[in-house]
Amino acid sequence: MLTFPDNHDVVLDADAGILAVEECVSQYIKLAKRHGADAKFNEQLVAWESRQNSIRITTQRSTYNADHVVFAGGAWSAGILSGILPELNVLRKVQCWYRVQSGFQQHPAEMPAFFFETSTGAFYGMPSGSEQLKVARHSGGAHVLDPSNPNASATDDERQSCTEFAMTHLRGIAGKPTRTSNCLYTLTPDGHFLIDRHPDNHRILFAAGFSGHGFKFASVVGRILADQVVGVDPGLAIRFLSAERFQ
């Protein structure tokens, strides 16, 4: 189902795989609860403040006091930690799903995720069940000033760039996307993550700027942050991810 230009070099990683994101998140939550976590959802952060021996978090629903806090605010990180983080650029990326034609529906089960660097940009994709392929452009993207209002509808140009890539490099798909969805990239200046401690309060840690490729590292990032909260050395070389590299 993939077709490559003659002048492309191609690398196949036989050990790579595709994460079922929703199931991963579900399992993370189940494991966290099993270890005593209290999971709460849909509570928008209103404010936080440092107190003498704790951090107070205020949401739309309640107030919490904690010995330590980890802020992992995604596209909202700059607003949560204003003045602490380097400049983060939030970009909106449009994801498109294309229907796999009936004669090709046996192939996605063995199809890898893919990433193409082309003259018109970098594109990636993967099977989405046996009847659809997901395609998105990794490069480019519209700048987002307010991540709570990222302009919900994809533009014709955004859809067209994915469709042109798909029609050039994929076989056996329909010519128009069946649906589109937005994804927000929170980019650091160098494209690497930010994992660090608040410079003025050792009780606060943050993880931000995952630049469109953070989810596959969620397990190890979570372990790093948990170790730091309880005062354990993660034993990993993470200094290069600190905020001081931008000072």
Rounded distance, CA 49 to CA 55, Å? 6
User: Do 231 and 117 fall within a single domain?
Assistant: no
Specify the length of the chain in residues: 247
- Kindly state the average pLDDT of the residues 15-27: 94
Identify whether 25 is part of a domain.
no
Contact predicate 147/76, CB 8 Å: yes
User: Do 94 and 74 fall within a single domain?
Assistant: no
User: Do 108 and 156 fall within a single domain?
Assistant: yes
Q: How far apart are the first and last CA of the chain?
A: 46
User: Do 114 and 55 fall within a single domain?
Assistant: no
Identify whether 37 is part of a domain.
no
- At residue 45 the predicted structure's pLDDT band, cuts being 50, 70 and 90, is very high
Identify whether 78 is part of a domain.
yes
Rounded distance, CA 166 to CA 97, Å? 10
Q: What residue has token string 């069940």?
A: 129
User: Do 56 and 95 fall within a single domain?
Assistant: no
Identify whether 133 is part of a domain.
yes
Rounded distance, CA 177 to CA 163, Å? 7
Number of domains in the chain: 2
Q: Is the pLDDT of residue 98 over 80?
A: yes
Instruction: Please give the pLDDT value at position 129.
Output: 87
- At residue 247 the predicted structure's pLDDT band, cuts being 50, 70 and 90, is confident
Instruction: Please give the pLDDT value at position 149.
Output: 85
- At residue 152 the predicted structure's pLDDT band, cuts being 50, 70 and 90, is low
Q: What residue has token string 């469109």?
A: 212
Contacts of 220 (CB under 8 A, 6+ apart): 236
Rounded distance, CA 163 to CA 176, Å? 7
Q: Global pTM?
A: 0.89
Q: 109 vs 78, 93, 116, 126, 131, CA distance in Å?
A: 40, 26, 20, 10, 10
Structural domain including 221 reads 44-85+191-246
Rounded distance, CA 185 to CA 90, Å? 6
Identify whether 4 is part of a domain.
no
Identify whether 94 is part of a domain.
yes
Tell which residue, 84, 58, 90, has the closest CA to residue 201. Answer: 84
Residue 197: CATH number of its domain: 3.50.50.60
Residue 142: CATH number of its domain: 3.30.9.10
**Tens digit of each residue's pLDDT (9 = 90 or more) over 112-145:** 999 999 999 999 999 998 899 999 999 999 899 8
User: Do 114 and 171 fall within a single domain?
Assistant: yes
Identify whether 216 is part of a domain.
yes
- Kindly state the average pLDDT of the residues 47-62: 95
Lowest mean pLDDT, pick from 37-46, 150-159, 168-177, 211-220: 150-159
Domain boundary among 171, 187, 203: 187
Identify whether 59 is part of a domain.
yes
Rounded distance, CA 29 to CA 39, Å? 7
User: In the chain, how long is the greatest CA-to-CA distance?
Assistant: 66
Look up residue 2 and give its DSSP letter: B
User: Do 97 and 149 fall within a single domain?
Assistant: yes
Q: Is the pLDDT of residue 73 over 80?
A: yes
